[in-house]
Amino acid sequence: MSESSASGRVGVHPIEHWVLHVDLDQFIAAVEVLRRPELAGVPVVVGGDGDPTKRGVVSTASYEAREYGVGSGMALRLAARKCPDAVFLPVDRDAYDEASAAVMGTLRSLEWGGRPVVVEVLGWDEAFLAAGPRPGDPEGSGRTSQLGRGRPWAGAAEELDAEATPVVEAGQGSLPPVQQEATVSLGEGPSGGPPPDPPGPLVDPVAFAEHIRSRVLEETRLHCSVGIGDNKLRAKIATEFGKPRGSFVLTAENWFEVMGVRPTTALWGIGGKTGKKLAALGIDTVNQLAASDARVLAAELGPTMGPWYHRLGRGVSDSTVSAEPWVARAHGRETTFQEDLDDWERIADEVRALTRQVKADIDKEGRPAARVGLKLRYRPFTTISRSLTLTSATNDPDELAEAAVSLLDRVEKNRPVRLLGVRLEMVPPEGGY
């Protein structure tokens, strides 16, 4: 859906009150089609080593394959049954790294309304964008402090009763009073403040989204969709309405019109398990979540997460687009066995081997492991996980391997194992995350 009529007000808020989310369309499949132009228009499935007769999962499927019901995370064998005419290809991480780097470089080269853009990379195929400071704006000024945050509070208060007792939402800060929301500038800055951005087609976020799509296609031959929002949450969700090859605007003004009747799992940050917990409380839709009592959610789902879900229901987000590189908290590896394992000495050896591989990954980060996790999948598809905190952080391979193996003492050993995974969580970097 491109530039749908169900969009919020555009061209009213200052440029620093907009956040864009760029998402490459069927990225991995698109990269493979660029390498093999003869596959254009053909169902393509990428996963494992490309052999659908073996165990493995789908990493991505082209739109043509998705029409047959093939999706990410699906077993390759099931994908082959759903779409027997699909072309199956192995995962090639180096190729995707190279293509992603080209896209992100293109995004970083852009200017929005005469300003450099701030790019926050989320992964291979997606990133947030915001306008950076104008040339000459002093560092830390009021004008620069809100860049990439979206419109202040972006709808945080309009649904609250002004007479109600304020709710402090743990881990997220307190909500601003209603009267503060009412005074947020939707146009020019306050009297005596900096002048507004000069008029021009690329100041408008919809026009700039079109510019982004054109530049990315021109430079990389890859198509993307762009979500436009007055905060990161709304921009991220908006992208799904713009796919493929389009854009969509989602703001406080049209949030409930677009999202209200949708299930809570349509929100970024709420998955199937949380959706079931909310449903048990009689909360099935975004409207119901927004109208729920944050205190009840806090009691049932935790003092931090409960109120946070309540904020999601109202589309509230106050995090800033940041170009700071992402710092990994942990690394992990897993392997699916072509034949189930029932020899637990062999399983222990496989855990040791996986742990040594992950240890090499964390060595590249320069931080030792503080916590060890084990993932185990029984036949046919029951998955469990176990973890432990080490008495002291270490990168000793033998110590880490034996810690991972010790977790096997906490699992049932009466069923064959089809998958093993090991995760090492590192100590925080100096200064924290």
Residues recognised as catalytic: 126
3-state secondary structure of 134: coil
* Residue that has been written with the tokens 């944050």 in this structure: 294
Q: How far is CA 79 from CA 58, 60, 64, 69, 143, in A?
A: 8, 11, 13, 8, 51
Query: 76-87 in b/e burial notation, b at 16+ Cβ within 10 A?
Result: beebbebbeebb
Distance in angstroms between the alpha carbons of the first and the last residue of the chain = 37
Whole-number Å distance between alpha carbons of 106 and 104: 5
Q: Rounded to whole angstroms, how far apart are CA atoms 51 and 301?
A: 42
Query: CA 55, CA 379: separation in Å to the nearest integer?
Result: 12
Which DSSP symbol is given to 414? S
Measure the CA–CA gap between 238 and 228, rounded to whole angstroms.
6
Could you tell me how many helices (H) and strands (E) the chain has, helices first? Answer: 15, 15
Q: What's the residue count for the chain?
A: 433
Tell me the C-alpha distance between 353 and 250, whole Å.
47
